[in-house]
């Protein structure tokens, strides 16, 4: 379809060039303006058709199959039959089956769409548990009573009290 549009466009350009040559020979006033108007009138249907067919024409659609559990080769074959392509996002060594796909199974997509796959499951490493020591808080023991003054100290205090006052 696009090839036919290109052939038509080339043909119209050649016709416009022929008309332009005739206009130049006839010595028409403002021939360049006239040539541009003719070129736009002839080329506009081609440009308009190309835009409509390229961007607004309905494309064939396909339903994404359920690929979970299939090997990569089986998933690729299934997608190729429907006109879909695939890309492996992640690959893990522990398993050789599809464990994740996007878009999901059952979605309606345009043919040629890429389906992302994850092959295998990531190995999860469980965190090492932290050990917290058990702390028991015991109330402090009551403070011991203050010691009683020694009798020797009392005798010395009495002696200092009995001392005669010094005279100056």
Query: Strands, E, within the chain: which ranges?
Result: 61-63, 85-91, 98-102, 108-110, 114-119
pLDDT tens per residue across span 146-168: 777 666 655 555 555 555 555 65
Q: Are 111 and 84 in contact (CB under 8 A)?
A: yes
Q: Of 33-37, 73-77, 92-96, 110-114, where does mean pLDDT reach its minimum?
A: 33-37
pLDDT given for residue 73 in this prediction: 93
In the chain, the percentage of residues whose pLDDT exceeds 70 is 85
pLDDT given for residue 106 in this prediction: 93
């Amino acid at each position: 379809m696009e090839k036919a549009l290109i052939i038509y466009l080339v043909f119209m350009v050649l016709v416009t060039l022929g008309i332009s040559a005739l206009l130049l020979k006839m010595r028409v006033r403002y021939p360049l303006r006239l040539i541009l108007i003719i070129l736009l009138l002839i080329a506009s249907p081609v440009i308009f058709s190309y835009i409509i067919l390229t961007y607004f024409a309905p494309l064939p659609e396909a339903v994404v199959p359920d690929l979970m559990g299939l090997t990569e080769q089986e998933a690729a074959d299934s997608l190729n039959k429907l006109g879909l392509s695939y890309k492996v996002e992640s690959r893990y060594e522990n398993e050789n089956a599809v464990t994740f796909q996007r878009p999901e199974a059952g979605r309606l997509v345009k043919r040629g769409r890429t389906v992302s796959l994850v092959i295998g499951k990531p190995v999860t490493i469980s965190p090492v548990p932290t050990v917290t020591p058990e702390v028991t808080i015991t109330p402090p023991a009551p403070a011991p009573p203050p010691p009683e003054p020694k009798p020797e100290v009392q005798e010395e205090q009495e002696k200092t009290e009995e001392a005669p006052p010094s005279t100056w």
